[in-house]
């Protein structure tokens, strides 16, 4: 059944090892494999499917556009589809939030957007260093992986990484210690060995890093530190943006405006490759074509992204729905943590970007594996894969959410107890 | 008409400056703008549209798949669409050519495939240096742009580039000098300052570098040099592959097998983002997920790529057609060069990857600008944008090819003569 | 008088700007300029003249050796002078302390010794990262300056620096925070972005960094962190070694043995260029000549270094004398700090490596300038040049020490008061 | 006899392996070991002892200065000894040659001077790349070794090297090919992948690289290339300078003036560590102390360097003597090459910097080993240690020169013949 994959697909394949079946169709929050078995999706393409699989309201636009021979591939030529997207993005996203960014279409991967953001920051400031945070994930191309904390990716880079300094994320030095104060100290002290940074790049919630949440206050303090030291503030909103935490941008609630923002993943609304960088206009110092890429004009993504904006972002219904479902999911996770007090399970997150930190990659792995056998797709993150990560479609039907949480609760309880039983039997942990 | 673009699209936009109109639809070798004006496409998305725009035979599969709620975004999970692609790629591409590569799905940009190829080469050999060639183009992310020759891209990187040594491409030291001998000397001489390379990365025809063609003999000699010095040979077939020079791979005719191959651009057959790396099985030393990316499972591209293979690569009809049309186009270019002997115009290329080297970016620019006003899209390449680059769809109808060549010939003659006249009037060049 | 200097000596000249006179002779703790004016030396060649200027007991050996046509320059050939040095160093320094280091003769600068130490650490571990500390100074060649904290030197490097991660030195995060715990956390967390280090390089007292003192407990904890993470511990004892803090090595009292030690500055005993690296024998994996240098066999330095060891290190008299004079000097500095409570003056240091932190580079500068006019040479260190640094010869006569301290006290009081008066007059600081 | 060396000196020791005895005294061109055996010195401290060992005319000044308690170590404070050196260097070296350089005292190793030169070039131009040449040797600290060609040193660096591009030295591409034309092409072609260089660093005769000689014409062409591309020209005259090729600077005869010059080795005249960088005044953009070092004010070296200049460089006697002895030595080497036509021995060099290229490191090694047993010190260079390198003191007595050449001739003939005989016996080479 999976013969050709094992025969010729590279060993680098990964998620298929956690979910060993072959999927055929998908709709909303459900995937169906070729045996006809349905799975509830609490993974959402690692945050790429905020509107679920094959959202019918978006699909319609896609089919019409393809059928009408709309331009599909346009490099960075002007097309009507690109114009429509820019108009929608401007009127539905930027203007209501009083944001005046320029929009750069990059190669359609998150890493490519990050690479472009780092380039423009370095060139605009004439500095080479960039501050990134412990447990950050910004992609695996050479420029992006240098800002990514995880040794798994770093050690695969093939070259020693450079050009970045890692600072402790909010909470990393323990409760009560404001890590922006330490960063400010490092940047103020001419003897600290930390070169003046072109930029600080931050995720407001670290997805791959283990669902670590930065407080609004910390983020605002971070922006103050950046301003004090002439560094640009880049918010990498690739996973946390597009409504994942509730508002369109994850930083809206925190009351500050980044200098540069990267978006990708759910931006196309349909799982299509698409990435952009938003720049304060004075930073848009690019010369024509300096950062290029064959697929920076992926018009099908323009069409679906426009549809996603017009279908979901003309009012605050989705944002409120995320808040409601997020609260429900968090309550369920907290109940699991309370019930399973044999382990120190910790719930973290914002909106529908939630994590159950099991403190232990093995336990988290058993929970996810068990969930798969019961028809739930859910994955882990964190440096030791110790956090069960809940990333449902934002549009998940209430029933599916409840059913998924019920399955997850069963798996958590079962695995915590079997672990505890095994420890009792073994006499040691 | 282009207001929103000028208002908020980043200055990095580029092709739209050469082709200042807004395109709406496209089919085969023709694009139509929103005023209804049609343009013959001699650019083909910089080699991404080998089967033309919206090929109806491929489109059908795409529409069916979308309509049936096939999985669109699947990270690197197994899907039926991915299996079908792997089976078709194996049976129609690899097996008939007795190639036993493993297939790695990377982020869907060419640069991402190049980054993965360089990583795997460095990790497999434990070496850090990579040899690239003068006028190479391999992308603009930090790892890829270090192997790209053009100062326009290099100087925008924001950091000094490293990890690469540039060697002269075939012909770079003039006729009669085999530059692989020089490379062999550098690698044999322990005093040369050139560190042992993990890999040599080469395009068999340099597209962005000005349609420079490596001979079969040179390529075979290059492989011998690589073997002698324990370096892997990577062919970047992103622009020259997928039939652009005739055969599926650009290196087939040369009689050697690379260790690693990158493919992208026309691989999806429909202009959709899609990239893969082909690896000799013993090089597939990746650990799961070491090189990842959100869009490495872009199933629509699997579907269209499969359709392209089954529609176009079950026999050698396309390869023969490319040879025929390529000969026709080359003859036309050579006629232009002969007619315009005021300038030293040089024709280069293989298959339907052809260039008219004008020796002068300004002249080439005037030719392309003039072509646009006459309804022909054609662009330039080379370090000084001095080469008019002909990259028609491989499936271009004979009439469109003839018409495009006719327009091009008119523009070449006109611009060469007006340049000559201007020089006479000005008394100096 | 200084015409030729101003005419043709590079602007990089530095100490001569603080001490604008031309010195002719020197003996013990006194320098005499060409006008015959004597100065007490509280600078000691930045720690190079622990035995004072032209110590007569060492001088005798030097004169005899030169007169007898002993080999002066011997590359790294065997000479009787080198043998005698190795025997003395072994019997008087290594054996009594039960140290079994191999001795590497490097180029005769401290930076060269640091470069060699970092190379051997990287090669022995196969890792590229090195942890250095805030406010560290290890030299200004490209490898060494990457481990140096001060932006003044870093920004002059001409290339972005790499291969180092800076961690907070003892006390950097405030009292009560053990910064080795933070370092341990960073190295234990696979998501921290801090790559596994080949080595941690540390000064037990940071001389150029502002006379910051690491506690014995912190140093021992640091060694535990190193062991836990497979990193070598390098003590850069170039300024703090050779008795400056009392014992021969600055780390003796702390109860641990570094894997690698660098020595230079006072090693020759007479101000002659000389540097060595001490290596645990199993780390001595050098191939012959891999790290070379024309002057690694400076036999005059072997002769004077041997004399310094035999004259000063056959018993603990010097160590006890340093303790006695250090206590005296510290008491005097603390009295100054107490008297001048308009400013928050802080005394730090160990042995005869003491600092008066003025919290303000301008005040410290005025104190030193004033001292010079009164016949005392003393300099500043710290990121803002805010620390008046006391580095007398260890052999300074008691009268000279007392006289120098008296002058310094006068200058401190005078400058603190004139600063306070100026602030009152100006109404603001 | 060599017990302590083998017991505790690092394995990095090197020359002592070729010359396994312990030297005690030296005078002129002769070293004497502790058994009283004398050796003629054709190595001269790898070019450090141009005036021989312990030149009595220089020694006198050294003894007087030490005896009189002249300042020995002065950081970069003004001293009378430094002034006297600057005055002598200005009046005897710079002024007669109409050179208006500023003089920078660096750490007293050649590598340190090279590091300073590269820094100032990068900072002055704002560029990071530096062009170095095949088989260049500029030292082994991290910045310098990046410009050094030999893999032996490069692979020991512990980090991938960067910031340099290697170009073919004069003659590297064979006779009749002007490699400056190739370099000019690379720098003119914006697609070459060679970033605009801050500087080109060159040895006019490559000592460690195998006594490769650049022609005057090539050097002048190189300067033209530098000017055309805004790159500074650095001549590393550390080994070839101070009269080694005849004139004080090795570039004098070639008719051009470098922008930056590094000097060391024989500069002190007595084998003492000493290095300077000469800078065109407008390049002297250092801020005070940006490049520092404990031993940049080594006053004994100032004294001996001054003596060397006043004793040897007030007229052209030494230059003429070098020409005469160089011609004699070259004639002798050429006679050896002619006599031993079983091997393709090649003589190269200028002045008293001569090489006998044996084409084979083993043969060259046997020759030098055999010479040692006969009382002649001579060493090898080149990437494979294939060149017997003749670097006698410039002041070598005629008798010693003749005797050394006689021994060398015997060894060459003997080893060539025994090699030939062995080949005949073995039937193969």
Q: Mind listing the pLDDT tens digit for each residue in A379-390?
A: 999 999 999 999
- Report pLDDT digits (tens) over C70-113: 999 999 999 999 999 999 999 999 999 999 999 999 999 999 99
Taking the C-alpha atoms of residue C61 and residue C207, their distance in angstroms, rounded to an integer, is: 30
pLDDT-based confidence at D423, cuts 50/70/90? confident
Query: Tokens at residue B205, please?
Result: 């025809």
Q: Closest to C134 (Cβ–Cβ): which among A149, A191, A196?
A: A191
pLDDT (0 to 100) of residue C380: 97
Q: Which of A53, A77, A88, A237 to mutate to test the interface with B (most CBs of B within 10 A)?
A: A77
Contacts of B202 (CB under 8 A, 6+ apart): B132, B133, B136, B169, B214, B219, B222, B233, B234, B235, B236
Taking the C-alpha atoms of residue B329 and residue B304, their distance in angstroms, rounded to an integer, is: 28
- Mark out chain B residues that contact chain D at CB-CB < 8 A: 128-129, 132-136, 147-152, 154-155, 160-166, 168, 172-173, 182, 186, 189-196, 209-210, 382-384
Q: Chain B: residue nearest A153 by CA?
A: B290
Task: For residue A328, give how far its alpha carbon lies from the nearest alpha carbon of chain D (Å).
Answer: 52
Bridge-partner residues for B349, per DSSP?
Answer: B354
Interchain CB distance below 8 Å, A154 and C193: yes
pLDDT-based confidence at D415, cuts 50/70/90? very high
The arithmetic mean of pLDDT across residues B200-211, rounded, is 98
Taking the C-alpha atoms of residue B392 and residue B378, their distance in angstroms, rounded to an integer, is: 9
Q: Chain D: residue nearest C119 by CA?
A: D158
Q: How many CB atoms lie within 10 A of CB B368?
A: 25
Interchain CB distance below 8 Å, C173 and A182: yes
> In the 3-class helix/strand/coil scheme, how is D234-255 assigned residue by residue?
EEECCCCCCCCCCCCCCCHHHC
Largest CA distance in chain D: 68
- Report pLDDT digits (tens) over B268-289: 999 999 999 999 999 999 999 9
Taking the C-alpha atoms of residue C284 and residue C278, their distance in angstroms, rounded to an integer, is: 9
pLDDT (0 to 100) of residue B176: 86
The arithmetic mean of pLDDT across residues C373-377, rounded, is 98
CB-CB neighbors (< 8 A) of A159 in chain B: 122, 128, 143, 162-163
- Report pLDDT digits (tens) over D239-296: 999 999 999 999 998 999 999 999 999 999 999 999 999 999 999 999 999 999 999 9
Q: Closest to C10 (Cβ–Cβ): which among D79, D94, D286?
A: D286
HSE-CB for B370 with a 13 A CA cutoff: 19
CB contact at 8 A, C126 and C308: no
Q: How many CB atoms lie within 10 A of CB A3?
A: 10
Interchain CB distance below 8 Å, B287 and A102: no
Q: Chain C: residue nearest D269 by CA?
A: C73
**Axis crossing angle, helix B110-125 with helix A110-125, rounded to the nearest 10:** 90
Q: How many CB atoms lie within 10 A of CB B377?
A: 22
CB-CB neighbors (< 8 A) of B163 in chain D: 160, 162
Interchain CB distance below 8 Å, B159 and C159: no
CB contact at 8 A, D214 and D170: yes
CB contact at 8 A, C145 and D146: no
Task: Please state, for a pLDDT cut of 90, what percent of chain B lies above it.
Answer: 95
CB contact at 8 A, B269 and B308: yes
Size of interface B-C (CB pairs under 8 A): 3
Interchain CB distance below 8 Å, C70 and D24: yes
- Mark out chain A residues that contact chain C at CB-CB < 8 A: 128-129, 132-136, 147-152, 154-155, 160-166, 173, 182, 185-186, 189-196, 209-210, 382-384
Q: Which of C63, C159, C378 to mutate to test the interface with D (most CBs of D within 10 A)?
A: C159
Asked whether the predicted pLDDT for residue C387 surpasses 60, the reply is yes
Interchain CB distance below 8 Å, D210 and B191: yes
Q: Identify the residue whose tokens are 């026309």.
A: B266
Q: Which of C134, C205, C125 is nearest to C166 (CA)?
A: C134
**ipTM for the whole complex:** 0.97
Taking the C-alpha atoms of residue A242 and residue A245, their distance in angstroms, rounded to an integer, is: 8
Q: Which of B72, B109, B143 is nearest to B300 (CA)?
A: B72
Q: How many CB atoms lie within 10 A of CB A13?
A: 24
How does the average pLDDT of chain A come out, rounded? 96
Q: Closest to A191 (Cβ–Cβ): which among C129, C160, C383?
A: C383
Interchain CB distance below 8 Å, D163 and C163: no
pLDDT-based confidence at D86, cuts 50/70/90? very high
CB-CB neighbors (< 8 A) of B384 in chain D: 190
Q: Is the pTM of this model over 0.95?
A: yes
Lowest mean pLDDT among B72-76, C164-168, D422-426: D422-426
DSSP of A348-365, one letter per residue?
EEETTEEEEE-S-HHHHH
Asked whether the predicted pLDDT for residue D424 surpasses 80, the reply is no
**Axis crossing angle, helix B299-312 with helix B80-88, rounded to the nearest 10:** 30
Taking the C-alpha atoms of residue D81 and residue D297, their distance in angstroms, rounded to an integer, is: 10
Q: Chain C: residue nearest B159 by CA?
A: C160
The arithmetic mean of pLDDT across residues D400-413, rounded, is 98
CB-CB neighbors (< 8 A) of A195 in chain C: 151, 154-155, 160-161
Asked whether the predicted pLDDT for residue C189 surpasses 70, the reply is yes
Interchain CB distance below 8 Å, D195 and B160: yes
Interchain CB distance below 8 Å, C66 and D63: yes
Interchain CB distance below 8 Å, A27 and B290: no
Task: Please state, for a pLDDT cut of 70, what percent of chain B lies above it.
Answer: 99
Asked whether the predicted pLDDT for residue A429 surpasses 70, the reply is no
Taking the C-alpha atoms of residue A324 and residue A401, their distance in angstroms, rounded to an integer, is: 12
Taking the C-alpha atoms of residue B170 and residue A379, their distance in angstroms, rounded to an integer, is: 49
CB-CB neighbors (< 8 A) of B15 in chain A: 75-77
- Mark out chain D residues that contact chain B at CB-CB < 8 A: 128-129, 132-136, 147-152, 154-155, 160-166, 168, 173, 182, 185-186, 189-196, 209-210, 382-384
pLDDT-based confidence at B425, cuts 50/70/90? confident
Burial status of residue A316 (CB atoms within 10 A of its CB: 0-12, 13-18, 19 or more): middle
CB contact at 8 A, A414 and A369: no
CB contact at 8 A, D243 and D44: no
For B62-93, b/e burial (b = at least 16 CB within 10 A) is beebbeebbbbbbbbbbbbbbbbbbebbbebb
Asked whether the predicted pLDDT for residue B1 surpasses 70, the reply is no
pLDDT (0 to 100) of residue A176: 86
How does the average pLDDT of chain B come out, rounded? 96
Going by the DSSP 8-state scheme, the letter that residue C73 receives in this structure is B
CB contact at 8 A, B52 and B396: yes
Q: Closest to A134 (Cβ–Cβ): which among C161, C165, C189?
A: C189
| CA distances for A253 relative to A256, A257, A347, C173, angstroms | 8, 10, 21, 31
Phi/psi region, residue A258 (left: phi>0; alpha: psi -120 to 50; beta: rest), is: beta
Query: Tokens at residue C404, please?
Result: 């120098």
HSE-CB for D131 with a 13 A CA cutoff: 29
Q: Which of C292, C296, C377 to mutate to test the interface with D (most CBs of D within 10 A)?
A: C292
Q: Chain D: residue nearest B130 by CA?
A: D160
Q: Which of C193, C195, C202, C212 to mutate to test the interface with A (most CBs of A within 10 A)?
A: C193
Q: How many CB atoms lie within 10 A of CB C260?
A: 25
Contacts of A424 (CB under 8 A, 6+ apart): none
CA angle A218, A222, A227 (to 5 degrees): 150
- Report pLDDT digits (tens) over C332-358: 999 999 999 999 999 999 999 999 999
- Beta strand pairing call for A78-79 and C232-236: unpaired
pLDDT (0 to 100) of residue B415: 96
- DSSP H or E stretch at residue A75: none
Task: For residue C352, give how far its alpha carbon lies from the nearest alpha carbon of chain D (Å).
Answer: 19
pLDDT (0 to 100) of residue C59: 98
The arithmetic mean of pLDDT across residues C406-416, rounded, is 97
How does the average pLDDT of chain D come out, rounded? 96
In residues, how long is chain D? 429
Going by the DSSP 8-state scheme, the letter that residue A178 receives in this structure is -
Taking the C-alpha atoms of residue C157 and residue C165, their distance in angstroms, rounded to an integer, is: 17
Interchain CB distance below 8 Å, C383 and A173: no
CB contact at 8 A, B22 and A83: yes
Query: Tokens at residue C363, please?
Result: 């005040």
- Report pLDDT digits (tens) over D202-241: 999 999 999 999 999 999 999 999 999 999 999 999 999 9
Please report the sign of the dihedral spanned by the C-alpha atoms of residue C215, residue C219, residue C224, residue C230.
positive
Taking the C-alpha atoms of residue C201 and residue C231, their distance in angstroms, rounded to an integer, is: 10
């Amino acid at each position: 059944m999976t013969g050709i994959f094992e025969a010729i697909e590279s060993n680098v394949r990964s998620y298929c090892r956690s979910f060993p079946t072959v999927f055929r169709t998908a709709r909303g929050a459900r995937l169906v494999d070729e045996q006809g078995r349905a799975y509830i999706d609490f993974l959402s393409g690692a945050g790429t499917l905020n509107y679920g699989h094959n959202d019918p309201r978006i699909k319609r636009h896609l089919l019409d556009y393809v059928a009408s021979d709309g331009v599909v591939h346009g490099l960075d030529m002007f097309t009507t589809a690109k114009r429509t997207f820019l108009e929608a993005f401007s009127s539905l996203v930027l203007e209501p939030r009083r944001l005046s960014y320029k929009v750069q279409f990059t190669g359609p991967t998150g890493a490519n957007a990050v690479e472009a953001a780092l380039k423009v920051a370095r060139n605009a400031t004439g500095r080479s260093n960039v501050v990134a945070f412990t447990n950050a994930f910004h992609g695996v191309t050479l420029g992006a992986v240098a800002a990514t904390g995880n040794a798994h990716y770093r050690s695969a880079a093939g070259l020693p990484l450079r050009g970045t300094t890692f600072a402790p994320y909010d909470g990393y030095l323990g409760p009560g210690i404001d890590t922006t104060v330490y960063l400010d100290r490092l940047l103020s002290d001419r003897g600290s060995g930390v070169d003046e940074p072109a930029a600080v790049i931050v995720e407001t919630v670290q997805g791959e890093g283990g669902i670590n949440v930065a407080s609004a206050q910390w983020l605002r303090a971070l922006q103050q530190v950046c301003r004090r030291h002439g560094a640009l503030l880049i918010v990498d909103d690739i996973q946390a943006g597009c409504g994942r935490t509730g508002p369109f941008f994850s930083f809206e609630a925190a009351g500050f405006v980044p200098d540069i923002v990267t978006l990708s993943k759910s931006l196309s609304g349909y799982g299509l490759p698409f990435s952009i960088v938003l720049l304060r206009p004075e930073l848009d110092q690019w010369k024509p074509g300096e950062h290029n890429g064959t697929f920076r004009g992926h018009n099908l993504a323009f069409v679906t992204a426009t549809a996603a904006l017009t279908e979901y972002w003309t009012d605050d219904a989705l944002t409120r729905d995320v808040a409601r479902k997020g609260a429900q999911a968090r309550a369920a996770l907290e109940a699991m943590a309370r019930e399973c007090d044999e382990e120190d399970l910790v719930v973290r997150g914002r909106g529908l970007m939630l994590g159950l930190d099991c403190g232990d990659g093995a336990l988290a792995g058993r929970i996810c594996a068990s969930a798969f056998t019961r028809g739930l797709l859910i994955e882990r993150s964190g440096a030791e894969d110790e956090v069960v990560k809940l990333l449902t479609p934002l549009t998940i039907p209430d029933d599916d959410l409840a059913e998924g949480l019920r399955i997850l609760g069963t798996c958590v309880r079962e695995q915590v107890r079997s672990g505890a039983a095994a420890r009792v039997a073994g006499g040691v942990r």
